Amino acid sequence: MITHRRILHCALALLIIVSLIVSGESEGFTPSWDPPSYDVFVSELDGLPFDSFVEVSYRLYLERHPLLISAWDLEEELDVRRDRLEDYSLSYLEESNRIEIFLLDRLRKLDRSELSAAQQMTFDVYEWILDDLVRAHAFPYHSYLVSHSYISSVDWATYDLLKFMHPLQSAADCHDYITRLHQLGEQFHQLLLYLNEQAQAGIVLPAGLLLHAVTKLDELINVPIYLHPLYLTFERGVNAISALPAEERVTLLQQALVAINDVVIPAYLKLSIVLIRLQGYAPLDYGVGQYANGEAFYEYAVHSYTQSDLSAEEIHQLGQEQTERIAGEIRQAAANLGYPEGLSMGQIYERVAIESGFLDSAALFDEHAHVLDTAIANIDQLRLVSDLPSIPLEVVPLTEGAFYRLPSLDGSRPGQLGVAASFKAARFTIPSTTYQAYAGHHLPIAISFELPIPLVRRTATFSGFSMGLGLYVDRLAWESGWYAGDPYADLGRLQAEITEAVRLVVDTGLHVLGWSFDEAVAYFERWTGKSLLFSQHEILSHAVNPARLISPTLGFLKILELLERFREAAGDDYDPLAFHVLLLGQGPLPLPILERWIESNIRDLAAED
């Protein structure tokens, strides 16, 4: 446990580091617009009817979050430039809290009973979002804004924005990009001030996570400026703009080099220095339960990510039950292949990997593309939708890892399935990964983007719903025969399912039930059949993202439960398409609201009988 004296020393050391960074954007590269203040919200929303209140308030809220605007490519619709970064200053965060409280209070003052059914759905979804934001106010320092994780670390969110999301198709885009580069020093200054306040509150990123964070930052510090990933991204974009005059191209590239040298690398370096200093004050344990109010924060995180009020103990038990169930299916599938009894999960999947074969480079990329094409061609078999959305999904290469990246809201930027084509991967893992990315994630998102519902509902993200759909659709694919004739790929599906079930056990064990890092790694490795290195990496992800990674299984089980209730109510008239229209036709929903929606339709079925 961290003592108050050590935290005080840590805070003083941080203040010395923070003072090294000059606040403020670089001269001549200030953003062209300002986010709306609390007072603007109050004045703009005064007296608005329900529909206008929802639309105007959410657009104003987006204008305080440039990262979200760029993620959905909404700059033109909101009439703002792509020249601003997210603000993480303490004063800005405090004002955001005031705004969120105001919006929730303003919404709840409206009379829900006077709204139409469609408006009531919007009311419920918006209320859930705002209530979740306000609940988070009780835990201002429990989330790790800076960590090794690209999922939740805000410095990596900025990197992702500049590396992948910011378009470079015009001179204006290029100027906006350089302006954003010049703001990175100020943004990291804000992050260091936050780390200082967090340390004084008794919360420091665990030592093992700090080590990984520093290692990842090295890749963005110890590199020549002309080989820096952000400069290379900018250079490729600039050189691809054929209409750009040669003289302007040279000027832009020179400005980017100056920004990388004078702002970007120094900002990453000073962040790294602070994280190195923090290692001497960081706890060795990994769970948030070690901090004051840590278990209460975990309860909040469970509610936020899974929309569930299950206790950590209940989730832990459920995870063990699901793990044992799926393990039985894996052993039966292995027996069907003639594997001897008594093999561990690691031994089973070692044989599966060897017998199914490995792919690398272009072959790996091509296999993902082939499986995606096959899934698209056969999607009608799943009875998910009557008409496919127009926004496509494409397979793109990347240097490491794998991801699904959202499309832009208007579809001008397609969804992307990233494949690390420079690495070797076992072929048996590819179908499940691709089916979940396309039918489980991309299709529901693309459908929601085209629905005639308010912007807040089209862009909402509820992890229990969206991640649960991935496992659910993978089950549909199996039931529809997509895995027939390929027992290795089916074992890949089962490995994906058991991995998500195991997450319930290790996450609750690590954060609430007193498990050590090594205990969590051992359990993960034993039941998933993954390597020790992979298991260690995953437990680090659990450590830095409390409750986030348990959402797929909880969402999956809730969707299956609702499916069975709907099927039973429909009887001989059951049509899977009818259920899926209800499931996907309202856009993303918190699971309790989804359950109420399905139940209301079940009651309608009963009334018809």
pLDDT tens figures, 372-430 = 999 999 999 999 988 899 999 999 887 655 678 889 898 888 999 988 766 788 999 99
**What is the structure's pLDDT at 54?**
98
Instruction: Give the torsion through C-alpha atoms of 17, 266, 163, 140, to 10 deg.
Output: 10
Confidence class for position 26, pLDDT limits 50, 70, 90: low
Q: DSSP assignment, residue 138? A: G
Give the chain's length.
609
Pairing of strands 393-397, 425-426: unpaired
**What is the structure's pLDDT at 263?**
97
CA angle 266/221/237 to nearest 5° reads: 95
**Cα 562 from Cα 579, distance rounded (Å):** 9
Which one has a higher pLDDT value, 320 or 279? Answer: 320
CB 456, CB 129: distance < 8 Å: yes
Residue 608: both structure tokens together: 């018809």
CB 493, CB 478: distance < 8 Å: yes
**What is the structure's pLDDT at 9?**
47
Burial label, 528 (beta-carbon count in 10 A; 0-12, 13-18, 19+): buried
Tokens 């001897």 -> residue: 340
Q: Which of 584, 603, 530 has the alpha carbon at shortest distance from 346?
A: 530
pLDDT above 60: residue 342? yes
Pairing of strands 402-405, 415-419: antiparallel
Residue 230: both structure tokens together: 């952000």
Q: Residue 9 to residues 15, 189, 211: CA-CA distances in angstroms?
A: 10, 20, 20
pLDDT per position as a tens digit, 203-239: 999 999 999 999 989 989 999 999 999 999 999 999 9
**Cα 596 from Cα 603, distance rounded (Å):** 10
Q: Residue 565 to residues 186, 557, 570: CA-CA distances in angstroms?
A: 53, 12, 9
**Cα 533 from Cα 563, distance rounded (Å):** 37
Residue 510: strand pairing partners: none
Residue 426: both structure tokens together: 């076992």
**Cα 210 from Cα 221, distance rounded (Å):** 16
353-362 average pLDDT score: 92
**Cα 324 from Cα 328, distance rounded (Å):** 6
pLDDT per position as a tens digit, 563-588: 999 999 999 999 999 999 999 999 99
Q: Tell me the average pLDDT of the chain.
A: 92
Inter-axis angle of helices 312-336 and 345-356, to 10 degrees?
50
E strand or H helix that includes residue 276:
helix 265-278
CB 158, CB 85: distance < 8 Å: yes
pLDDT above 80: residue 349? yes
